[in-house]
């Protein structure tokens, strides 16, 4: 609806890819609804995935023994994080909805996107023990994982060798999003777009646009172990 802010964190090297098309569909449909849409195009930004001392401007809290999580948390408090992190945090802070668009790499997100998680979701900003899970700092935000797979839907079912796709979702949806308090919408999964017909790929894009039309009316999933493993 008008006024809603959406951040799309997008990780694909190729604008002409199917992931690129899914991202474009989301930008178009959400803009049409009057949402304000921001895209973090990680490869285009050459986003830095490595969590290092360079992320902290100026002196360290403890220069004798570098502890990234502690140092990043301290730097957040005094506004001394690297500029690229601060910019991403601003986008997250403003967003009502986070969409992660990526191809599944090794049962998870590509390293460049994992690096965005590692570096942007700093202690104090995204979580603060014990303010986690349902008491999390981002409890007014929604998130949705939208991704493509190499394998077919059949490959990712309970009892098949690669197991239920939900097993894969646990670390990302629960361990990252829910941990920060974010409400998780059902994932949007396009299975094996490389191996289907052009017609089916088009139908997948239409289905995504359709879903987005009523996205704001969706109820979040019940992001507990039962949803994933029972």
Interface characters, 1-30, with a second copy (x: CB under 8 A): ------------xx-xx-------------
Regarding 219 and contact with a second copy (CB under 8 A), the answer is no
Q: Which two tokens stand for residue 28?
A: 């178009």
Regarding 213 and contact with a second copy (CB under 8 A), the answer is no
Alpha carbon of residue 128 to chain centroid: 19
Closest to a second copy by CB, 25 vs 112, is: 112
Regarding 176 and contact with a second copy (CB under 8 A), the answer is yes
What's the rounded Cα separation, in Å, for the pair 21 and 199?
14
Peptide bond into 130 cis (omega under 30): yes
Regarding 181 and contact with a second copy (CB under 8 A), the answer is no
Q: How many CB atoms sit inside 10 A of residue 130's CB? A: 8
Q: Give how far Cα 140 sits from Cα of 21, 56, 67, 211, Å.
A: 28, 28, 30, 21
Regarding 205 and contact with a second copy (CB under 8 A), the answer is no
Binding site for a second copy (CB under 8 A): 13-14, 16-17, 43, 46-47, 49-53, 64-69, 105-112, 114-115, 117-119, 121, 133, 150, 158-159, 161-163, 167-168, 170-172, 174-176, 179, 194, 225, 228-229
């Amino acid at each position: 609806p008008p006024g809603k802010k959406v951040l799309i964190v997008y990780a694909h090297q190729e604008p002409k890819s199917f992931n690129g098309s899914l991202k474009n569909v989301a930008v178009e449909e959400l803009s049409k609804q009057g949402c304000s849409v921001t895209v973090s195009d990680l490869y285009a930004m050459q986003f830095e995935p490595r969590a290092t001392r360079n992320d902290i401007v100026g002196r360290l809290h403890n220069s004798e023994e570098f502890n990234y999580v502690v140092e990043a948390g301290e730097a957040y408090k005094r506004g001394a994080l690297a500029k690229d992190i601060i910019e991403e945090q601003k986008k997250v802070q403003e967003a009502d909805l986070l969409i992660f668009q990526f191809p599944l790499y090794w049962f998870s997100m590509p390293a460049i996107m994992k690096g965005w998680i590692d570096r942007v979701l700093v202690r104090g900003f995204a979580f603060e023990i014990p303010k986690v899970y349902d008491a999390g700092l981002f409890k007014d935000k929604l998130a949705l994982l939208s991704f493509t797979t190499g394998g077919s839907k059949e490959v990712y079912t309970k009892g098949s060798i690669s197991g239920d796709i939900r097993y894969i979702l646990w670390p990302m949806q629960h361990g990252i999003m829910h941990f920060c308090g974010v409400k998780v919408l059902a994932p949007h999964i396009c299975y094996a777009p490389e191996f289907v017909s052009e017609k089916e790929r088009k139908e997948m894009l239409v289905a995504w646009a359709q879903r987005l039309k009523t996205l704001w009316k969706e109820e979040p999933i019940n992001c507990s172990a039962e949803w994933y493993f029972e």
